[in-house]
Structure 1
Amino acid sequence: MTALSAHAAAADAPSDLARLSAVDLLAGYRRKRFTPVDVVEDIIAALDATHTRCNVVVTAMYEQARADAKRLAAAMRAGEPCGPLAGVPVTIKDLVFVAGVPAYAGSPMNKSFVPDADAAVVSALKAAGAIITCKTTTCESGYKLTADSPVTGLTRNPWNPAHTSGGSSGGAAAAVASGCGPIAIGTDGVGSIRVPSSFCGVFGLKPTFGLVPRSPGFAPPSWASLAHTGPITRTVADAALALETIAIHDLRDAASLAVAQRRFDASPRPLTGLRIGASADLGYAAVAPDVRAAFAKAVAVLEDCGARISGDHPGIDSRILERTLKPIAFIEQAAAVAHKTGDELADCDTDYRDVIAAGRSYAGVDYVEAGYRRTQMRAAFVDLFSRVDALVTPTVAVTAFGAGQLGVASIDGTPVDPHLGWSPFSWPINLAGLPAATVPCGFDRDGLPIGLQIIAPWLDEPTIFKIAAAFEEAQPWAGRWPEMRR
């Protein structure tokens, strides 16, 4: 990890620096090829260009980033210790608190809200020497799987701006995909890291529930029992590096796991003997033909890497969306704004207000019964992981649809719920609290990215990194870029 890649070795002009991985940036700093000042200036230029095309930035933090870069450059010249992520630029989704910076969370209700404390992940990144460049776009409270909101408007896909970036970490994924720095911090309540990462053609990791703390704020605290925080990156190694920094214990988050900090190995090696279950539809989901075809090819790649593939899945009830997810997710969304009046909600998205109304319409017994069904599903995953070491599925059942849409109402002629039915592979994993990642595995006939989801047992992120690194080596994706003009 100390050697520069071929791309990094060629990055003499500052205009190339924004596209370097975190691993290559750190190696470049050690070799004194460039400084954090050079990198941050190029990142700012890239963010400005991408924001103009795709709308990814909520609040720019450029002057602070420049000041941090100058401080770190001086410390590096003096040979002072600077931290494991010193000089690595990072963006932060606007649901995550940065002290002194507005946290709109995509909602007009938060137009005057400025947190006075950093989220634990932000504190950890700052302590590691990372440079925060901006807050990125999200929908309201992360309630849907695009990044469109009344605060920021539409966030678009860098591969085709007529299409959505996905969400709700859409600004984060689009920025990474466009070469605006190597690491973004996103959140994932029903797929909000994996869906935009899949749509934008980058790597996204949802860690085990509780491995990365959400404290002291997640504005508002929606998806209370479902939300995870994790990294979006171009490379597997960068995600491992980021997770090593942000996977910490924090008592302010009741769900935070008291797990010792770990190192994660993202070096590629054969998958010989690894048992991987594969399911194109989890036994019930409608899936677009291009996604099915890309998934089949990806499974063949894993088999070529040495994995033992079997057709398997946990046997999820096809009624899970209506009977389990919606009572839990919608009640938690409604509870997050229970103190808000109708007037305060008036400027919110119509679809968001519909979710709140649906959440308020459920009875307490609906939430408890859904919790029982959730426990049964978790048991099904326990049983599955007695047979296999990991499970792979498509990440999303479709590719990126038109910007401004809530979702799609049908897939290959089969009607689906337009809010969440087209992403049937993401939110069951949130219900179970399992770790999962998406890796780019191909493109549809229109040139839009397709993702492969890798799911492992609880706290087994190392297996995800092992599979993802092998796949990355066998079918590299980091060198493919959308045609963005500076």
Structure 2
Amino acid sequence: MTLVTEEGGVAVNDLARLSAGELLRGYRAGHFTPVDVVDDVIASLKRVDSRCNVVVEPLYEQARRHAEAAALDWAAGRPHGPLAGVPVTIKDLVFVAGVPARGGAPANQGFVPKADAAVVSRLRAAGAVVTCKTTTCESGYKLTADSPVSGITRNPWRLDRTSGGSSGGAVAAMAAGCGPLAVGTDGVGSIRVPSSFCGVFGIKPTFGLVPRSPGFSPPSWGSLAHTGPITRTVADAALMLGIMAGHDARDGSSLPLSGFTYEANPGSLAGLRVAASVDLGYAAVDPEIRAAFDRALDTLANCGAAVIVDGLEVDPGILDRTLKPIALTEQAAAVSGRSAADLADSEPDYLAAIDQGRRYSGTDYIEATYRRGDLRAKFLALFDRADILVTPTVAVTAFAAGTLGVDAIDGRPVDPHLGWSPFSWPMNLAGLPAATVPCGFDRDGLPIGLQIVAPWLGEAAIFRVAAAFEAAQPWAGRWPDIA
């Protein structure tokens, strides 16, 4: 996709739709400046926010000042960093110094962090311009972005549908053309689910590859949460992740690794063994998702991959026996110092999740970690016989805005909180890198995602597959009409 003409002209309101790569090339050629871009991104954010509710804290004046400084640097021929003047949004669970970090929680109304999160510091050091904080659900506990703080976040493809979450504001803004880069977090699918629902690219890196300290609030999903990029193109995500990744001693889970560079060059997938599972042996999946998944496998095969329909089988009780004792206990621990009065304005579903987390015993939690180890062993065995795993990203497309989820798929009952996203959170339990790429639309015109999973620290392989798929089945040029 390119909106820049050979003469360097760009249509009104189109700058906000350009990729980071296109922006950098335009700056270098002098076709436009970071001020032009940031002004257009701000206008787009205001327009989309009025329809979809994506911004919880605008930082527009600060962004304009930083854009002016970046424009001067470009004019002087000394741009500051590999993202000089490129706009980025930050999910409200991630700290930006001096900016309220409510994280969707009424109890955090007065909280203003004093330090940037490591990823924000790194993006700023690379020259990126932070434009706003984006909406999320309360403390990231569910897979939509609705909260008592910001209300309901909507899907730009259909305003009566959810954006997904909990990085829903970041993704909905991205899908509607409000800049090229966004920071999201993912504890049980919170990057991949909304990216699938809204038709963009999102990647959850290997656990610990991207540091979360000193700012990720609250510390819920402590052993599950990842921070990662959300973009419209695979190349932008590769560039962004290379900047975000690397060790930070302030995060006890941060891997002692550094110096990452990722490429996203489309090419043949010859020699690549791709294991494919439409249901992980247990999941209920909507028929339209199954059909789109089959078509995606044909695309991968046409790219040269050896596609193997794999019999990977996950314990059907994984949600209740493994994920919930870990995830909900960690959620409850994150608010252990809060009183009933502190949580009085919280959502009933959030309070129910906290209550359930408090009811698990230490034995329940440890037994769940043993089963988590069994899951990890299954993936180790899988990656002995395949290089990549692909699944649907979500078992359904976007459901009604303002609801928790669906309670049945294709006639089978599912847990309305997490049961309709059976492919996302197993990858959090295992700590595996996983991305979603758009792979089609349902009959209502809602996007469908393909999940690409690699072995630990296999992000380069994910970018290789995603870039080939993107070239074979482009998506970045399709835009929702929310006028």
Same fold (TM over 0.5): yes
Letter in 2 for 1:397: A
Question: Are positions 1:133 and 2:140 aligned together?
Answer: no
Give CA-to-partner distance per residue, 1:49-97, whole Å, 9 cap, x none.
0000100000000000000000111111112241000011000000000
What corresponds to 1:77 in structure 2? 75
What corresponds to 2:85 in structure 1? 87
What corresponds to 1:47 in structure 2? 45
CA distance in 2, matches of 1:8, 1:188: 33
Q: Indicate if the aligned counterparts of 2:2 and 2:22 stay in contact, CA closer than 8 A.
A: no
CA distance in 2, matches of 1:71, 1:213: 28
Superposition pairs of residues 18-33 of structure 1, within 5 angstroms:
18-33=16-31
CA distance in 2, matches of 1:231, 1:29: 22
What corresponds to 2:318 in structure 1? 320
Q: Secondary structure at the match of 2:3?
A: helix
2:446 to 448, 466, 483: 448
Letter in 1 for 2:49: H
Letter in 2 for 1:7: L
What corresponds to 2:32 in structure 1? 34
CA distance in 1, matches of 2:26, 2:82: 14
Question: Are positions 1:407 and 2:444 aligned together?
Answer: no
Letter in 1 for 2:306: R
Letter in 1 for 2:354: I
C-alpha distance 97-416 of structure 1, shift in aligned 2 (>3 A): same
Give CA-to-partner distance per residue, 1:5-52, whole Å, 9 cap, x none.
642236523411000000000000000000000000000000000000
Letter in 1 for 2:293: F
Letter in 2 for 1:37: V
What corresponds to 1:58 in structure 2? 56
Q: Secondary structure at the match of 2:236?
A: helix
What corresponds to 2:282 in structure 1? 284
2:458 to 444, 449, 460: 460
What corresponds to 2:266 in structure 1? 268
Letter in 2 for 1:235: T
Q: Indicate if the aligned counterparts of 2:3 and 2:10 stay in contact, CA closer than 8 A.
A: no
What corresponds to 1:97 in structure 2? 95
C-alpha distance 92-6 of structure 1, shift in aligned 2 (>3 A): closer
Superposition pairs of residues 153-232 of structure 1, within 5 angstroms:
153-232=151-230
CA distance in 1, matches of 2:202, 2:34: 25
Q: Secondary structure at the match of 1:454?
A: strand
C-alpha distance 339-6 of structure 1, shift in aligned 2 (>3 A): closer
CA distance in 2, matches of 1:97, 1:313: 42
CA distance in 1, matches of 2:109, 2:312: 43
What corresponds to 1:393 in structure 2? 391
CA distance in 2, matches of 1:6, 1:297: 26
CA distance in 1, matches of 2:60, 2:49: 14
TM-score by length of 2: 0.99
What corresponds to 1:435 in structure 2? 433
Identity score, percent? 68
Give CA-to-partner distance per residue, 1:191-226, whole Å, 9 cap, x none.
000000000000000000000000002111000000
What corresponds to 1:416 in structure 2? 414
Letter in 2 for 1:211: L
Q: Indicate if the aligned counterparts of 1:97 and 1:217 stay in contact, CA closer than 8 A.
A: yes
Q: Indicate if the aligned counterparts of 1:168 and 1:192 stay in contact, CA closer than 8 A.
A: yes
Q: Indicate if the aligned counterparts of 2:246 and 2:260 stay in contact, CA closer than 8 A.
A: no
1:300 to 280, 290, 298: 298
Letter in 2 for 1:379: A
Runs of 4+ aligned residues of structure 1 deviating over 4 Å after TM superposition are none
C-alpha distance 11-190 of structure 1, shift in aligned 2 (>3 A): farther
Question: Are positions 1:246 and 2:259 aligned together?
Answer: no
The number of residue pairs the alignment matches comes to 481
CA distance in 2, matches of 1:49, 1:313: 47
In the TM superposition, residue 314 of structure 1 has moved relative to its aligned partner by 3.4
What corresponds to 1:7 in structure 2? 3
Q: Secondary structure at the match of 1:231?
A: strand
Q: Indicate if the aligned counterparts of 1:138 and 1:149 stay in contact, CA closer than 8 A.
A: yes
In the TM superposition, residue 260 of structure 1 has moved relative to its aligned partner by 2.1
What corresponds to 1:311 in structure 2? 309
Q: Secondary structure at the match of 1:8?
A: coil
Question: Are positions 1:17 and 2:11 aligned together?
Answer: no
Q: Indicate if the aligned counterparts of 2:292 and 2:440 stay in contact, CA closer than 8 A.
A: yes
78-87 or 348-357, which moves further after superposition? Answer: 78-87
What corresponds to 1:259 in structure 2? 257
CA distance in 2, matches of 1:194, 1:54: 19
309-318 or 102-111, which moves further after superposition? Answer: 309-318
What corresponds to 2:378 in structure 1? 380
Letter in 2 for 1:284: Y
5+ unaligned residues in a row in structure 1: which ranges?
Answer: none
C-alpha distance 298-71 of structure 1, shift in aligned 2 (>3 A): same
C-alpha distance 370-123 of structure 1, shift in aligned 2 (>3 A): same
What corresponds to 2:357 in structure 1? 359
CA distance in 2, matches of 1:12, 1:380: 50
Q: Indicate if the aligned counterparts of 2:90 and 2:182 stay in contact, CA closer than 8 A.
A: yes
5+ unaligned residues in a row in structure 2: which ranges?
Answer: none
CA distance in 1, matches of 2:79, 2:197: 38
Letter in 1 for 2:446: L
Letter in 1 for 2:240: A
Give CA-to-partner distance per residue, 1:413-465, whole Å, 9 cap, x none.
00000000000000000000000000000000100000000000000101000
Give CA-to-partner distance per residue, 1:258-294, whole Å, 9 cap, x none.
1122211101000001000001101100000110000
Q: Indicate if the aligned counterparts of 2:70 and 2:79 stay in contact, CA closer than 8 A.
A: no
CA distance in 2, matches of 1:115, 1:484: 34
Letter in 2 for 1:345: L
Q: Secondary structure at the match of 2:384?
A: coil
Letter in 2 for 1:296: D
Letter in 1 for 2:464: K
